[in-house]
Structure 1
Amino acid sequence: MTLLLIAFEFIQGNMKNVDSLMGTGMRLLENKITLLHDLQSEHGSNNSVEYTSSHLRSNVPDDEMDDIEHLLPCLCLMAGFTHFFQSHRNSVLLMNSSPKLQLPKPGVTVLAKLQTLWGQFFTRAVVHVMRTVHDQLNYNPRDLTKAAEEQERFVEYIGMWNGALETYLNDPTIDADARRTLDSIQIQRLLIHIVISCSLDRSEMMYDMFEEEFRELLHRVVCYLRDPGPISKVSFTFSEGLTSPLAMIIGKCRNHDLRMQAIHVLNNLSWRESAFDGQALVIGKSGVVLLEERGMDENGFIPPDSRWIWMSGKWDIEKRELLATYFRLTPNEDGTPCHTQLTLDMDNLMHSCGLIGCPGRHDPFQNYVV
């Protein structure tokens, strides 16, 4: 019922009510959400690696609870990345981000169960990322040894998930709908591979080493959109979908062409994915590109003291403007945080192409051939 109410408020555009419902739901389910419990004892158990065949073969009564106890926290956390919600702040530090591997078995695990297992793993990955962002914004000290161990295990498990997903995709008997579902999961898998691989670098310089992965991520998104699969008339979905990977390319990939292509795609998405409204999100993210490319050198390199992240935003619907606050990754000389604000026109997307003398149109659908 909580999720139905949240979906209704999303569709109505009542974001304050959505934020309140997510916070209330997290408190009500506190004793049922395993992410809020200490699961360290599971790491030595075989159950942390695989389910029994009988559990994998079919949906058991606990599956619905498995879904809700990861869907609601994931929804709450992912909403934090949109910069318009606050409910995640009280719960993220209480959540367990320890990676837990439960791989599907090709030929045994049905697709619905695979999606549940992936949802559980993805939610833990999001907790890890959100904690990193929280520490970064607050200049919190971190246990780097523990963080590095957690990061290493996540990267290892993400690679194992890739192997399992490719095995499913190589099965000639799967239908088009199943293939499309697996393609969507592969997009999310590549996304968290990039983000978690770079999660310990507060300067975000390490993202520059993943330009080819960003290019592959954009290519996968474009191919997914060009796939002649069934076109849903639903304008809202709880799934992670395509908005978050596109927003990540815009915010973290410092290749101008890839960023602008992602902006083009995100600005043209016609549906809302959980807390993500692509056409609203792209406005704030374009401000990051503008700020960073003001400091770009003649070789297209953005130095550390010109790298920013979007912190928060406040809409003025009457003026149709977004007042966006940004955080520079390099602090001021005295060590204090550096913030700046931009007032962005909701109806006139700001591009930085003219700033750097770029003549391109940046339409990825013309650049990629499926």
Structure 2
Amino acid sequence: MPVTPGEYWNLIERNRPPIKRRANHAKVRSGCVTCKTRRVKCDERKPLCLRCEKSGHLCAGYEDASAAKRGKETPPAAASAISKRNAIIRPKSLQPCRVIDVMQPSSLGVTLPASLTPSYLDSSDAPFFERFSSQIIKDIASWCTANIWKGILCQVMRDECIQHASLALAAMLLAVEKSSDSNCLSSVPLTQYAEGRAALRHYMKAISLCRQRLLDGITKDTIRSNLICTFLFAMIEVLQGNMSTVDRIMVNGSLLIRDAINAKAPTLVWDEELEDLKEGFDGMTIMWGLCPFFHGQKEIYTVVKSKGPYLEIPDKDAPLFDIRQCWSTFQNDLGLFVMSVRCGKVVSSQHMSSVISEKSMYMAQLRKWMPLIDTLLEREKAASAFYQLSMMKASALTHIIFLSCFLDRSDISYDSQLQSFIEVLRICQRFVPDKPPTHFQFSLDIDIFPIASFLVTKCRDQKTRQLALKVFSEITHRQVLWNNQGMLKSLQALVDLEHKGRDKSGFIPASSRYFFVGSQWDLEQRQMMAWFVSVGSVPTESGDLPTVRVPISF
């Protein structure tokens, strides 16, 4: 079995740094020019050697032995390879960057500026840096309001650990695209592609650097670097579908923040930059905790410190970025409340009064936010911020629906929210692309996934549900931050399961309503199984909830 990056995450928790040993190789006399330059043993396959092909290097061919003896010129291919190698080992230029691409159109229909690639990067890594700087940063910044992402490119330039993590993410994204375009089966390892091997190499280096910095002590630079890398590591694992590894990585990030806050080290200066980064990371922890894939976040969310009731409503003339930050802070606090009542599932009688009080406070705040969001939507119809504002409204509507109905254990009260469900669906329908994107993106899932899945699971109107499933499928096509196809099949299984319990009038009684708790591979049945729990179920004597398992196929 091929090695996968996720297996190496536990290296961070080792107590001693690994001992680096350099393998000894025999001197190469008759190998290809590339292997000679790299000083590795060549297998001398003609016309191009197998070693270069497997390692992702460009094989420059073989020198003419007779010409070499007579002192003749090096073949053009060999000269090209040597020139590239010499360019890499020259002293670094005082000019920090070089332009390697021209103005190019993006899939969003806008022209992107020429990208600048650091001159000290290996030429083989230039495409990875280009993809990260021209697309991935823009995708992340579209849904993450933390200021740190506005300057992430500077961090990539000066922080070696973040640099390797970003190159690994971009290389893995390119490998996944190649795998998808070639219609390869999911069992085929991504390391069969040069991009996949490069991703593995950069990933291992980034993990090693993160681990070494943690051993050197907790400082501001350590926290900043490790939190950014933790987030990038999580996205690398999501690309490969390693959800349990993603869960563990995010838990480690939350624990790192907790330890940093509790640490009284004089070298750690907790300033606005770290606070901003923490808020962005907390938001991801809360959002992923509300997703059935990440059970670890449901256990660790309590380490996220709430700022308390966020009562400030910004003015409509405030900068949109500031408004989005205010909304993000409020949504984080509201998300913590939602997790506290959802993870417990049943609100105990001793906590009922405080829960009702918090619910009323958040509901009042949402009703103040709605007019502001509507005003901004009307004003920004043709602006680039229209998508983010629309998602803010859809998110606010889903929060209002949840707060209105979550105390009803039968879920029947959700039936009275049909018009709100339809309004949320219409917002999502606006962003169904006219044609599928040409490349994978990280942009839409982060917003659409929780909204569309909530719509499908809680709206029992058959027509609206089917439309929501269709929108979920179309709008998340070639989106890579979630396991879209697996979740789509699980949601369809939930709809089919509840549909069997409809009575003659089309009503679904409480006894036939379920919620999705996750999916797991059944080794005995050799099939993926989706797990559902009845909304009115109570724990058994062992503490478990009785589940219904439904097979799903891809």
Normalising by the smaller structure, the TM-score range is: 0.7 to 0.9
Match of 1:84 among 273, 284, 293: 293
Which amino acid in the other structure matches residue 100 of structure 1?
A: Y
- The answer to whether residue 417 in structure 2 is matched with residue 210 in structure 1 is yes
* Cα pair distance change 1:184/1:144, threshold 3 Å: same
Structure 1 residue runs without a partner (length 5+): 35-60, 348-370
Q: Distance in 1 between matches of 2:434 and 2:326?
A: 25
Which amino acid in the other structure matches residue 309 of structure 1?
A: F
| CA-CA distance at 1:328 after TM superposition | 0.6
Higher relative contact order, structure no. (Cα contacts within 8 Å, ≥ 6 residues apart): 1
- More displaced 10-residue stretch of structure 1: 89-98 or 243-252: 89-98
| CA-CA distance at 1:239 after TM superposition | 6.7
* Aligned residue in 2 for 1:185: 392
Note if contact 2:421-2:455 (Cα within 8 Å) is conserved in structure 1. yes
TM-score (norm. length: structure 2): 0.51
CA displacement, residues 310-339 of structure 1 (integer Å, 9 cap, x when unaligned): 112113699884212211122379998432
Question: Matches of residues 202-281 of structure 1 in structure 2 within 5 Å?
Answer: 202-225=409-432, 233-237=439-443, 240-268=446-474, 269-272=476-479, 274=481, 276-281=482-487
Number of residue pairs matched by the alignment = 314
Partner SS state of residue 207, structure 1: helix
CA displacement, residues 67-100 of structure 1 (integer Å, 9 cap, x when unaligned): 4323323322332343222221322345566542
Note if contact 1:307-1:328 (Cα within 8 Å) is conserved in structure 2. yes
Match of 1:304 among 493, 510, 525: 510
* Cα pair distance change 1:149/1:242, threshold 3 Å: same
Match of 2:341 among 128, 132, 136: 132
Partner SS state of residue 311, structure 1: strand
* Aligned residue in 2 for 1:74: 283
Q: Distance in 1 between matches of 2:540 and 2:388?
A: 49
Q: Distance in 1 between matches of 2:480 and 2:327?
A: 18
* Aligned residue in 1 for 2:313: 103
Q: Distance in 1 between matches of 2:248 and 2:538?
A: 35
CA displacement, residues 136-178 of structure 1 (integer Å, 9 cap, x when unaligned): 1x77555111111111111111111112222222336x75202
Which amino acid in the other structure matches residue 412 of structure 2?
A: M
Identical aligned residues as a percent: 23
Note if contact 2:490-2:530 (Cα within 8 Å) is conserved in structure 1. yes
Note if contact 1:132-1:200 (Cα within 8 Å) is conserved in structure 2. no
Q: Distance in 2 between matches of 1:13 and 1:279?
A: 11
- The answer to whether residue 233 in structure 2 is matched with residue 26 in structure 1 is no
* Aligned residue in 2 for 1:163: 371
Which amino acid in the other structure matches residue 255 of structure 1?
A: D
Q: Distance in 2 between matches of 1:322 and 1:102?
A: 46
- More displaced 10-residue stretch of structure 1: 238-247 or 20-29: 238-247
Which amino acid in the other structure matches residue 279 of structure 2?
A: H
| CA-CA distance at 1:341 after TM superposition | 0.9
Q: Distance in 2 between matches of 1:114 and 1:227?
A: 30
Question: Matches of residues 344-359 of structure 1 in structure 2 within 5 Å?
Answer: 344-345=552-553, 347=554
Partner SS state of residue 224, structure 1: coil
Which amino acid in the other structure matches residue 90 of structure 1?
A: E
* Cα pair distance change 1:334/1:344, threshold 3 Å: closer
| CA-CA distance at 1:253 after TM superposition | 0.5
| CA-CA distance at 1:65 after TM superposition | 4.1
Partner SS state of residue 310, structure 2: coil
- More displaced 10-residue stretch of structure 1: 183-192 or 82-91: 82-91
Note if contact 2:289-2:301 (Cα within 8 Å) is conserved in structure 1. no
CA displacement, residues 160-216 of structure 1 (integer Å, 9 cap, x when unaligned): 1112222222336x7520222211221211121211222222221211110110011
- More displaced 10-residue stretch of structure 1: 287-296 or 21-30: 287-296
Partner SS state of residue 424, structure 2: helix
Partner SS state of residue 242, structure 1: helix
TM-score (norm. length: structure 1): 0.75
Note if contact 2:428-2:471 (Cα within 8 Å) is conserved in structure 1. no
Q: Which has the larger radius of gyration?
A: 2
Which amino acid in the other structure matches residue 160 of structure 1?
A: K
Q: Distance in 2 between matches of 1:191 and 1:66?
A: 28
* Cα pair distance change 1:318/1:113, threshold 3 Å: farther
Partner SS state of residue 400, structure 2: helix
* Cα pair distance change 1:235/1:148, threshold 3 Å: same
Note if contact 2:428-2:448 (Cα within 8 Å) is conserved in structure 1. yes
Note if contact 1:310-1:325 (Cα within 8 Å) is conserved in structure 2. yes
* Aligned residue in 1 for 2:232: 4
- The answer to whether residue 382 in structure 2 is matched with residue 154 in structure 1 is no
RMSD: 3.2
* Aligned residue in 1 for 2:530: 324
Which amino acid in the other structure matches residue 23 of structure 1?
A: V
Structure 2 residue runs without a partner (length 5+): 1-227, 263-270
* Cα pair distance change 1:334/1:165, threshold 3 Å: closer
Which amino acid in the other structure matches residue 505 of structure 2?
A: N
